[in-house]
Amino acid sequence: MAGGEIDVSESSRFIYLDICALNRPFDDQDQIRIRLETDAVLLILSHVRTRSIRMAVSPVHIKEATATPDLSRREHVLALLSEFGAEIDVDSGQVRQRVQHLLQSGLGVADAAHAAYAELSGSDFVTVDDRLIRQLQRTRLNIWSGTPTAYCDKENLR
């Protein structure tokens, strides 16, 4: 990764965008919410490109992005992750333990893995999945989680 590794002891702003958020610009833009979230994702990525925000990347990102059937989406997301992402350096045993706890709370495997990596790296977790946000709020994740537009509001991104 061009962005290096994330040392969880570093103090900086880190964001963990799940694959759904990273793919938002490729979704049908006919709905206002999708257009707003697309604009928010693009704004976040502009800050990632200037390194004012660091984008956390986990093995789950790579696995999901590689499995994306649409070639254009797959190549775009993998390029973003490779060029601007910082690999998360956390204990794999802690990740497995947290994933198991999140699975017991009702999250799916990929969502639990993304959330565990985000939490253990201390990154804000951004997704466009409302159901996942509600589930994460019930699990009392130890990090902020929300939509791209909510993140832009929280961080006062312009």
The tally of domains found in the chain comes to 1
Residue 5 lies in a domain: no
Structure tokens at 44: 């976040």
- CATH of residue 85's domain is 3.40.50.1010
10 has a pLDDT exceeding 90: no
Looking at residue 140, its pLDDT comes to: 85
> H or E segment at 30?
none
Residue length of the chain: 158
Give percent of the chain with pLDDT exceeding 90: 90
Q: How confident is the model at residue 1 (pLDDT cuts 50, 70, 90)?
A: low
Residue 137 lies in a domain: yes
Structure tokens at 25: 């610009």
Query: Concatenated DSSP letters for 100-156?
Result: HHHHHTT--HHHHHHHHHHHHHT-EEE-S-HHHHHHHHHHT-SS-EE-HHHHHHHHT
Residue 6 lies in a domain: no
Contacts of 97 (CB under 8 A, 6+ apart): none
Tell me the per-residue pLDDT of 55-93, one tens digit each, with 9 for 90 and over: 999 999 999 999 999 999 999 999 999 999 999 999 999
Q: How confident is the model at residue 99 (pLDDT cuts 50, 70, 90)?
A: very high
Domain span holding position 131: 12-155
HSE of 145 in the Cβ direction (CA atoms, 13 Å)? Answer: 26
**Strand bridging mode 54-57 / 5-7:** unpaired
Residue 75 lies in a domain: yes
Residue 3 lies in a domain: no
Tell me the per-residue pLDDT of 11-31, one tens digit each, with 9 for 90 and over: 468 999 999 999 999 999 999
Residue 67 lies in a domain: yes
9 has a pLDDT exceeding 80: no
Q: Which of 155, 152, 156 has its CA nearest to residue 38?
A: 152
Residue 125 lies in a domain: yes
> H or E segment at 33?
helix 32-49
Tell me the per-residue pLDDT of 118-135, one tens digit each, with 9 for 90 and over: 999 999 999 999 999 999
157 has a pLDDT exceeding 90: yes
Query: What's the whole-model pTM score?
Result: 0.90
Tell me the per-residue pLDDT of 87-96, one tens digit each, with 9 for 90 and over: 999 999 999 9
Residue 1 lies in a domain: no
Q: Which of 76, 72, 87, 71 has its CA nearest to residue 120?
A: 87
Give percent of the chain with pLDDT exceeding 70: 92
